[in-house]
Structure 1
Amino acid sequence: MRTPVFRTFQCLCRASFASTASINATANATTYTCRRPATQGIRTFTSTSTTASGHSRWSKIKHDKAKVDARRGAGYSKLSQEISFAVRDGGTDPSNLRLKAAIEAAKKAGMPKDRITTAIGRGQGKSASGVALEPVSIEAIGPGKVALVIDCSTDNKLRTLQDVKCILTKHNVQITPTAYLFSRKGLVRILAESGGHTFDTVLETALEIEGTEDVEEVAEGEDGKPEILITTEPAQIKVVATEVKEKLPGLEIITYGIEWVPNEDTMIEVDKERTADSLEELLAKLEDVPEVNDIYTNAKA
């Protein structure tokens, strides 16, 4: 074993090493002694460890990156839903322009190829491996007593339940029945003014179709654009969507499907200071789970 060598510095001189210092070596130590006149005194030096400040730049980078990743995951989720809807609406034929546009948008956003393939399969009711998907719903009470219904499609029910419940547990969410706070309704979302058709025109046309329950204007839809929302009986959703599009050429249907609509008398006002951030963080984490199709809440907009 080598004997460790310890060095002791008695001063630091500005003069060159050759002209101001000599070395006295021993077996275990080497001492540097200054040859400057005694009248100049001896300067001694000590060193202490530097104490880190109360924050870390890396922790800030990680925090910022997490927010960016959350936004990216939410964006991928919406793109996946658009691809799946396009497949359900028009199949995978090359003539399906909506599917083509959705895939191009996903590629432009940097969405992984395997996730695009999975989204197409979901539109066909199959997983990426070709196995039929099974619907799974999870009900819970989230931040601020907000009710949640999480709809999933999966080829492995147990795995999906574990993944979703793990996220809910980390956010102190209680898994409990909440479906009684909602009603199942068919919803047709239409881009306002598309094809040159006004709200009144869509309203009159939709009300003539059997199964239509309500028609309303939405100032800012999911994509930030004005929409027209047609509510239907669940069994009549496809009939209403098809007929209104046939009667009003050029009308653009954004999406249609059966959803959980919160009952008006059970909706909750969200405290923006205490609850909004926690709820948004939870929803972003859930949307990042590939098997999650939709998340419904009874929170007031």
Structure 2
Amino acid sequence: MSGHSKWAQIKRKKAVTDSRKGKVFSRIVKEVSVAARMGGSDPEGNPRLRTAIDKAKEVNMPLDNIKRAIQKGAGELGGAMYEEIIYEGYGPGGVAVLIEAMTDNKNRTVAEIRYALTKHGGTLGESGCVAWMFSKKGCILIDKKAVSEDTLMTEALEAGVDDLKNDPNDDMYELITTAEDMAAVKAHLEKASIAVSSSEITMIPGSYIQVDDPTAQKMMRIIDALDELEDVQNVHVNFDLPGEEL
């Protein structure tokens, strides 16, 4: 099927770094809490909550932490209530930047995001300025050591996967699904004894723009600055990296 974005590999490496900083737990707790508040505390009837719980288990989050996050979202425990907000803007070279945030103080969050963007040559845009460039998709990663490409291709097609990406320089297969079908595809793969390394709902650009090295460096500084913000959950961009390595 289709090719692979170098940015996807860098993003995964950054996720590992964030987990070492302890940021992953904080972000997942917010996602679990918001999912429970919006769709109910029963994961069987709330696909978003089920996905968030799966992500929490992937990073070995203690079950007590998951339970408290669900109770908080369901209103059974006190504490700050988070609101989902999407921020949109541009980086150097016209790169589209889509930022998913969860906050209990919108004024603080927008000020911090605007500063992070403008400090490194970006701008905060109006609602809708870049969101149309992205589509919500499911992304499932499979370790190449776990299964052959032919076997995975057969099961992926049977499960209704939209795309299978196989970069020879990457140690993971990447399966792209619709957001609605991701849980069912994951269940199908696990039933076929294919181990899933991770799965998430993400925003994927319709196309990537190539940038030169200086622009890529500036974009990485913007992404790092945004990732440092407590209220930012995810950062999505539509640029690809030049060369084999940045």
- The TM-score range, normalised by the shorter chain, is 0.5 to 0.7
- Cα contact 1:209–1:243 (8 A) shared by 2: yes
Distance 1:278 1:293, change over 3 A: same
Counterparts of 2:139 and 2:239, CA distance in 1? 18
The residue aligned with 2:132 is: 180
The residue aligned with 1:231 is: 176
Amino acid at match of 1:278: K
Question: SS of the residue aligned with 1:208?
Answer: helix
The residue aligned with 1:160 is: 109
Instruction: Compare relative contact order (CA 8 Å, sep 6+) and give the higher one, 1 or 2.
Output: 2
Alignment counterpart, residue 268 of structure 1, candidates 209, 223, 229: 209
Question: SS of the residue aligned with 1:172?
Answer: coil
Counterparts of 1:81 and 1:228, CA distance in 2? 27
User: What are the superposed Cα offsets for residues 24-61 of structure 1, whole Å, 9 maximum, x if unpaired?
Assistant: xxxxxxxxxxxxxxxxxxxxxxxxxxxxxxxxxxxxxx
Alignment counterpart, residue 142 of structure 2, candidates 169, 180, 190: 190
Counterparts of 1:139 and 1:77, CA distance in 2? 26
Distance 1:77 1:284, change over 3 A: farther
Cα drift, residue 191 of structure 1: 2.1
Larger Rg: 1
Unaligned runs of 5+ in 2: 1-15, 33-48, 242-246
- Cα contact 2:51–2:200 (8 A) shared by 1: no
**Number of residue-to-residue matches in the alignment:** 201
The residue aligned with 1:255 is: 199
User: What are the superposed Cα offsets for residues 79-108 of structure 1, whole Å, 9 maximum, x if unpaired?
Assistant: 44896589955849xxx86443x67xxxxx
Q: State the TM-score, normalizing by the size of structure 1.
A: 0.56
RMSD over aligned CA atoms reads 3.6
Counterparts of 2:52 and 2:27, CA distance in 1? 12
Amino acid at match of 1:254: S
Counterparts of 2:149 and 2:175, CA distance in 1? 11
- Cα contact 2:58–2:198 (8 A) shared by 1: no
Q: State the TM-score, normalizing by the size of structure 2.
A: 0.67
Distance 1:254 1:97, change over 3 A: closer
User: What are the superposed Cα offsets for residues 105-126 of structure 1, whole Å, 9 maximum, x if unpaired?
Assistant: xxxxxxxxxxxx79x849x869
Cα drift, residue 151 of structure 1: 0.9
- Cα contact 2:164–2:176 (8 A) shared by 1: yes
Percent identity between the two aligned chains: 23
Distance 1:97 1:291, change over 3 A: closer
Counterparts of 2:23 and 2:212, CA distance in 1? 26
The residue aligned with 1:76 is: 21
- Cα contact 2:51–2:183 (8 A) shared by 1: no
- Cα contact 2:98–2:235 (8 A) shared by 1: yes
Structure 1 or 2: larger helix share? 2
Amino acid at match of 2:114: K
User: What are the superposed Cα offsets for residues 260-300 of structure 1, whole Å, 9 maximum, x if unpaired?
Assistant: 21112xx221110x212211111111101122111111111
